Amino acid sequence: MRIIILFLAVIIFSCKQNKEVKEAYQWPEATPPVAEMKDHETGMHGDKRNDEYYWMADYFSKGPDSSKVVDYLNAENAYTDTMMAGTKQFQRDLFAEMKGRIKEKDESVPVFSNGYWYYTRSEEGKQYFKYCRKKGTLEATEEILLDVDQMAEGHPYYSASGFSVSPDNKLLAFGVDTVSRREYTIHIKHLETGEILKDAIFPTDPGYEWGNDNKTLFYTATNPKTLLSEKIKRHTLGADPKTDVTVYVEKDNSNYIGVGKTKSDKFIVISSTATMSSEHRILDANKPEGEFQVFQPRIKNVLYDIDHQNDKFLIVTNQDALNFKLMETPIGKTGVANWKEVIPTRKDVLLQGIDVFKDYLVITERKNGLLQLRIRNITNQAEHYVDFGEAAYTAYPSGNPEYDTKNLRYSYTSLTTPNSVYDYDMESKKKELKKRQEVLGGYDPEEYVTERLYATARDGVKVPISLVYKKGTAKSAETPMLLYAYGSYGYSMDASFSSSRLSLLDRGFIFAIAHIRGGQELGRQWYEDGKMFKKKNTFFDFIDCAEFLIKEKYTSTAHLFAEGGSAGGLLMGAVSNLRPDLWRGIVADVPFVDVVTTMLDESIPLTTNEWDEWGNPKNKDSYEYMKSYSPYDNVEKKAYPNMLVTTGLHDSQVQYFEPAKWVARLRTHKTDKNVLLLKTNMEAGHGGASGRFDYLKEIALRCAFMFALEGIRE
């Protein structure tokens, strides 16, 4: 999925309000790089389609132009540095300001699992964290399971993920990626001796599950070129990974696969999921060398997910249920013919998922764009909803590994409420705030205002917009605004808090999220109406939201900025072609802009997984529709807004050459004198820098770009 943890970072700029007369930033007189053009025909179905920058893909393929690619990216970086030179001190100040709001010495709320309290803690000045536990009680002696600060030394990028502790609490499996290509090496640590065992396995996805025998580990093996999750393998502790047994091979390369465990720890589950269908296999976790059994064979256009509860399985499915429904079936009778309805589908409520406990069931629902948690006592069938006390918020279960408990852990946030963790007693209905994100330097939520607006799209649909601004901020044609959106994969852009965003608001900006189609904020149909041959609704919704905000005098075209990342970067590319006149500036982060070429190349990571999202251009109708909106294909000889485009050399989700080619083509076509900048992180991938603080430097650059255009200099 071309969706990233980055998009949460890209919206949290920080800056101070400047009430003095604003002097425009003076852009240096510098000449941008000019990329070489080489004709390369990529058309299909009788269509001529010349891609003059196709050679830029040579870095990963080690082609003849590999070194030339690096030279070009470095030249673009040098040009960006020159153009932004006058903001260098401002960027340093912004970085310090954003970092200054983060509590450097901090600790997560401990989570209880199988007799231990697990948590992470960070130390002052350190980029990473320590993964720790205490046995039985929080007063027990701390065990540091992994010191990631120490492990990351000497690595420009470092990610440790996929932590899985064996049932006897003696072994820890974890994955490490030092390149940012989502290729992880499994390591196993003996927690009693501290020894890292020799069982190193590469390449894998970071999701590992132990059999209940404490010596069998299941993992997902990936293709080193396409990075597709292709096989589930079984590793026996101490054995040569070359002898690992393949227990499942995915033959449909449009499916993602993975391995997990039911909440009860009774079953190992292999999942195979595409955009429109899924299939699961189960195995008794006490018999890890047994054969996996298909739960229900995949059915075209039917998604289902499963978990185990006592004497039955629970199934969330969209079979004859657009907004999903909840079913159950006895153990041993898993086929669809045995499924019995528990909660029917509803037109106005999306059943988003379930969290299973021995005596309770937590159902996550979405109604009117808001998440709600429905609690059911399975003994007496009594139900209630958790009362959150605010009209607009985001809430979701988090950190609930224990099966036999009446305590629900959930996270809560809003545009003005810092991230908060609660424990909720499902029997007494009492909740306890365990931790609220501390904002250093002081923060008063009463100083900020949130609004929920609805723009009417061109086809009459009402599109929600969430806004936040500081009290006293004028709504006028002179007010700067950042409008953000994503709009793909059914991912809902729920309103959440950001401490870094505060200084953006303090400088007089309004921040807005357009909840456009392609997400799932208003139910499954909201997603269906923003994908495949309805994808243009996503772009039109964003434009219509912008025009609505201008009409209502929240801002004007002279002060309106747009931003999106990954598939949201596709949105930025599309709206820059469709309505370049609407924006003072556009920030496109790791943008997916060459849709046709990417979806034609099955060797590129994620391509085949996403045909159900975008279409397969080998089909003429899909090819023509994609080409009609693909940003790279629709660059024209006309004026474009000021633009900052970012990418990462090692990006595996939207590879660097998409934004690089797009910028190169824009340079030869744009008829304006507006600024066009490309910044490539030469040491990172899709999510940017890996440390707790380094990513803030990337945000500071984006911030400085926008404020240079607004004439804000400090």
Contact 3, 489 (CB under 8 A): yes
What token pair was written down for 110?
């401990």
Burial tier of 193 (Cβ tally within 10 Å: 0-12, 13-18, 19+): exposed
Compute CA 218 distance to the chain's CA centroid, rounded to the nearest angstrom. Answer: 25
**Pick the catalytic residue: 180, 498, 500, 566?**
566
> Is the CA virtual torsion 698, 700, 704, 707 positive or negative?
positive
Q: Does residue 601 contact residue 594 with C-beta atoms inside 8 Å?
A: no
Among candidate residues 383, 388, 339, the one with its CA nearest the CA of residue 362: 383
Is 686 an annotated catalytic residue? yes
Q: Rounded to whole angstroms, how far apart are CA atoms 208 and 188?
A: 11
SS3 content of the chain, % helix, strand, coil (to 5): 25, 30, 45
Query: For 83, phi and psi rounded to 5 degrees?
Result: -65, -30
> Which is the catalytic residue, given 205, 244, 355, 651?
651
Length of the chain: 714
Exactly one of 180, 355, 686, 690 is catalytic; name it: 686
Does residue 203 have a cis bond before it (omega within 30 degrees)?
Answer: yes
Q: CB within 8 A of 417, min separation 6: which ones?
A: 390, 393, 445, 497
Whether the CB-CB separation of 702 and 678 falls below 8 Å is answered with no
Separation CA 178–CA 196 (nearest Å):
18
Annotated active-site residue 566? The verdict is yes
CA-wise closest residue to 335 among 304, 365, 358: 304
Long-range contacts of 145-149 (CB under 8 A, 24+ apart): 145/172, 145/189, 145/191, 146/172, 146/174, 146/189, 149/123
* Residue 685 DSSP code: B
Q: Which residues pair with 249 in a beta bridge?
A: 231
First-to-last CA distance in the chain?
Answer: 38
**Beta bridge partner(s), residue 175:** 161, 186
AA identity, residue 519: G
Beta strands in 216-311 (DSSP E): 216-222, 229-236, 245-249, 256-261, 267-273, 278-284, 293-296, 304-309
The residues assigned a catalytic role are: 566, 651, 686
